[in-house]
């Protein structure tokens, strides 16, 4: 076995991926509608157990940390206002960012879509003759399918965030934006490590310390041998041209400091005007994401500096549909997201179906708002058009969101867009029944008469007072949900009596 600086070096791993190791199934992205994905994941009882346990644990930790903050609501309000300001001054702030990065020796690229972003990355890597790169914290590169694009050109991108690495080694897809391997338990992770890593002790246990040690040895050689790193960013600071990453493991810092060249791919919305603004998010993000008071590692870099970190820094500002989202006065709230994952941890739908059911890089409540908008998917043939319906509209996500994104209202708004987009020239049965309902509900007399008439259907409810089947057009409803049997006395009648 070759060694590199004392660590075992395996050329097999490199060859494995570059030479056609199966990539994650691309049909999982934008491939199927939510109900289809949910039907599959709901059958996986192990996944549901893992999810219930993990989301419950994160939720409890988050609640404890939030209760320590008397000014939590004020912070949320400030964050929301900063984001509103940022979105309405986005062009100016991005230009300021570009000026400051350039002034400090960095190079800024603008990518209008995934094809442009991938072409820029590929060109830079080919100039450096890089055959492999290390990667950290970049959902934007997942959004543009960068790993798969690079693999077509014989370049392997190694995930170095521990959870992302587990997902990659498991030929899997992330299922949470903060805890991508939330659907895996320790026993499953041990099996993935045993299958995919060389020189792993045969008797490795499921103890976190032993698993972390195996991961450390696996990653260390990559950090030391890679000449180029690719990162995302939690936030950019326009006034100084600073790019930042917060993380828990320190792997990000290895990526950001050891390689000679650093390429950061960042969505154009991930920006705040000043350091003072950033401070607000540094208090909200760790508490909301992992229930920590602060992130163990906060890395910031501004261009390049002689003798300190990478010699070359490229910042790719990615649009990929964000300008379109910005143009929608309700939907644009989705661009305020700081990717903390709190909305997923409280969502009853997410907790049952898990992230894979959404068939989207961004799962959960925020994914249901962001993905259809980024893809412009409102035609009912588009799988992502089903996502706004993946919610009970209970409002838990709104309450948990540290930047006060009104996800339920945005979901209703997007449902309206889907409905309007698919409205045909001839009114459908659903259109007719909704129109009829609005006439009845808009008139006190008609509504009272309807309530009295509905009482005739009371015997249909049987003993359990639930009606499971009704003729068209109400069958559209009863196909999926039971209707409670009408009460013996309506509210109006009771009210009249009491009066």
Q: In the bound complex, what is the minimum distance in angstroms from residue 423's beta carbon to ligand SF4?
A: 29
- Closer of 13 and 339 to ligand SF4 (Cβ): 339
Give residues 38-67 in contact with ligand SF4 (rule: CB under 6 A).
Answer: none
Using a 10 angstrom Cβ sphere, with 0-12 exposed, 13-18 middle and 19 or more buried, the burial of residue 453 is exposed
Residue 256 per-residue DSSP state: H
Maximum Cα interatomic distance, the chain, rounded to a whole number of Å: 90
Residue 366 sits in the site that holds ligand SF4 (CB under 6 A)? yes
- Closer of 264 and 290 to ligand SF4 (Cβ): 290
Give residues 106-145 in contact with ligand SF4 (rule: CB under 6 A).
Answer: none
Residue 232 sits in the site that holds ligand SF4 (CB under 6 A)? no
Q: In the bound complex, what is the minimum distance in angstroms from residue 228's beta carbon to ligand SF4?
A: 29
Please tell me the chain's helix, strand, coil percentages from 3-state DSSP, rounded to the nearest 5: 55, 10, 35
Q: With residue 270 as reference, give the H or E element that holds it.
A: none
Stretch that binds ligand SF4, among 253-261, 265-273, 334-342, 410-418 (CB under 6 A): 334-342
Residue 342 sits in the site that holds ligand SF4 (CB under 6 A)? yes
Residue 396 sits in the site that holds ligand SF4 (CB under 6 A)? no
Stretch that binds ligand SF4, among 98-106, 233-241, 273-281, 339-347 (CB under 6 A): 339-347
Contact 354, 175 (CB under 8 A): yes
Instruction: Return the beta strands (E) in 305-407 as ranges.
Output: 312-318
Residue 37 sits in the site that holds ligand SF4 (CB under 6 A)? no
Contact 139, 371 (CB under 8 A): no
**Residue of 211, 214, 237, 340 interacting with ligand SF4 (CB under 6 A):** 340
Give residues 401-460 in contact with ligand SF4 (rule: CB under 6 A).
Answer: 401-403, 405
- Per-residue burial over 270-292, b = 16 or more CB atoms within 10 Å of its CB, e = otherwise: bbbbeeebbebbbbbbbbbbbbb
Q: In the bound complex, what is the minimum distance in angstroms from residue 477's beta carbon to ligand SF4?
A: 30
> Do strands 228-231 and 261-267 pair parallel, antiparallel, or not at all (unpaired)?
parallel
The distance of Cα 165 from the centroid of its chain, to the nearest Å, equals 17
Rounded Cα distance, 337 and 281, in Å: 11
User: Mask 275-314, x = binds ligand SF4 (CB under 6 A)?
Assistant: -------------x--------------------------
Residue 250 per-residue DSSP state: S
Which string of DSSP letters, residue by residue, matches 143-169? HTTHHHHHHHTT-EEEE-SHHHHHHHH
Q: In the bound complex, what is the minimum distance in angstroms from residue 289's beta carbon to ligand SF4?
A: 8
Q: In the bound complex, what is the minimum distance in angstroms from residue 78's beta carbon to ligand SF4?
A: 14
**Residue of 339, 351, 358, 374 interacting with ligand SF4 (CB under 6 A):** 339
Contact 198, 8 (CB under 8 A): yes
Torsion of CA 156, 160, 161, 165, to 10 degrees: 60
Q: In the bound complex, what is the minimum distance in angstroms from residue 366's beta carbon to ligand SF4?
A: 4
Q: In the bound complex, what is the minimum distance in angstroms from residue 395's beta carbon to ligand SF4?
A: 12
Q: With residue 248 as reference, give the H or E element that holds it.
A: none
Residue 236 sits in the site that holds ligand SF4 (CB under 6 A)? no
**3-state secondary structure (DSSP) of residue 133:** strand
- Closer of 350 and 378 to ligand SF4 (Cβ): 350
- Closer of 396 and 485 to ligand SF4 (Cβ): 396
Stretch that binds ligand SF4, among 163-171, 396-404, 417-425, 436-444 (CB under 6 A): 396-404
Sheet holding 297-301, edge to edge: 271-272, 235-237, 242-247, 297-301
Contact 340, 235 (CB under 8 A): no
- Closer of 180 and 402 to ligand SF4 (Cβ): 402
Rounded Cα distance, 138 and 252, in Å: 11
Q: In the bound complex, what is the minimum distance in angstroms from residue 35's beta carbon to ligand SF4?
A: 22
CA distances from 468 to 199, 463, 476 (A): 59, 12, 12
Q: In the bound complex, what is the minimum distance in angstroms from residue 48's beta carbon to ligand SF4?
A: 21
Beta bridge partners of 317: 110, 266
Residue 400 sits in the site that holds ligand SF4 (CB under 6 A)? yes
Q: In the bound complex, what is the minimum distance in angstroms from residue 68's beta carbon to ligand SF4?
A: 19
Q: In the bound complex, what is the minimum distance in angstroms from residue 264's beta carbon to ligand SF4?
A: 20
Residue with tokens 């002790």: 201
Q: Where are the alpha helices (DSSP H) in 68-130?
A: 72-88, 90-103, 114-127
Residue 349 sits in the site that holds ligand SF4 (CB under 6 A)? no
**Residue of 7, 254, 335, 338 interacting with ligand SF4 (CB under 6 A):** 338
Q: By CB under 6 A, how many residues form the interface with ligand SF4? A: 14
Residue 75 sits in the site that holds ligand SF4 (CB under 6 A)? no
User: Mask 237-276, x = binds ligand SF4 (CB under 6 A)?
Assistant: ----------------------------------------
User: Which residues of this chain interact with ligand SF4, rule CB under 6 A?
Assistant: 288, 337-343, 366, 400-403, 405
């Amino acid at each position: 076995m070759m060694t590199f600086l004392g660590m075992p070096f395996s050329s097999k791993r490199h060859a494995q991926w570059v030479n056609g190791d199966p990539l994650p199934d691309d049909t999982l992205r934008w491939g199927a509608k939510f109900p289809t994905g949910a039907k599959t994941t709901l059958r996986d009882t192990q996944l549901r157990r893992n999810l219930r346990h993990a989301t419950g644990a994160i939720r409890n930790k988050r609640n404890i940390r939030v209760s320590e903050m008397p000014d939590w609501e004020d912070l949320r309000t400030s964050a929301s206002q900063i984001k509103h300001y940022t979105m309405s001054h986005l062009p100016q702030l991005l230009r300021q960012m570009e000026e400051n990065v350039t002034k400090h020796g960095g190079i800024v690229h603008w990518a209008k879509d995934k094809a442009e972003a991938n072409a820029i990355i590929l060109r830079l890597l080919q100039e450096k003759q890089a055959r492999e790169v290390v990667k950290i914290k970049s959902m934007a590169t997942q959004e543009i399918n960068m790993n798969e694009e690079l693999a077509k050109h014989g370049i392997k991108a190694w995930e170095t965030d521990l959870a992302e690495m587990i997902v990659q080694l498991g030929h899997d897809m992330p299922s949470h934006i903060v805890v991508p391997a939330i659907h895996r338990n320790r026993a499953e992770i041990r099996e993935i490590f045993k299958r995919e890593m060389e020189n792993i002790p045969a008797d490795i246990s499921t103890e976190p310390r032993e698993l972390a040690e195996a991961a450390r040895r696996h990653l260390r050689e990559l950090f030391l041998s890679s000449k180029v790193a690719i990162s995302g960013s939690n936030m950019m600071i326009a006034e100084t041209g600073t790019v930042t990453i917060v993380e828990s493991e320190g792997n990000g810092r290895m990526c950001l400091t050891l390689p000679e060249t650093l390429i950061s791919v960042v969505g154009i919305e991930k920006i705040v005007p000043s350091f003072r603004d950033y401070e607000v998010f540094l208090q909200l993000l760790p508490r909301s994401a992992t229930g920590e008071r602060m992130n163990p590692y906060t890395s910031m870099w501004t261009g390049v500096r002689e003798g300190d970190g990478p010699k070359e820094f490229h910042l790719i500002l990615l649009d990929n549909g964000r300008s379109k989202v910005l143009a929608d006065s309700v939907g644009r709230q989705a661009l305020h997201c700081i990717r903390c994952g709190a909305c997923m941890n409280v969502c009853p739908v997410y907790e049952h179906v898990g992230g894979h059911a959404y068939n989207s890089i961004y799962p959960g409540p925020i994914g249901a708002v962001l993905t259809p908008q980024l893809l412009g998917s409102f035609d009912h043939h588009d799988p992502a058009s089903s996502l706004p319906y993946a919610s009970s509209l209970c409002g838990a996500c709104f309450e948990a969101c540290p930047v006060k994104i009104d996800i339920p209202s945005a979901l209703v708004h997007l449902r309206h867009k889907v409905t309007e987009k698919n409205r045909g020239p001839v009114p459908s049965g659903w259109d007719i029944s909704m129109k009829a309902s609005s006439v009845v509900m808009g008139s006190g007399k008609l509504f009272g008469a309807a309530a009295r008439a509905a009482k005739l259907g009371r015997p249909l409810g049987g003993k359990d007072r639930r009606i499971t089947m009704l003729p068209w057009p109400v069958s559209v409803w009863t196909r999926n949900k039971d209707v409670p049997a009408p009460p013996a006395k309506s509210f109006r009648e009771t009210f009249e009596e009491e009066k």
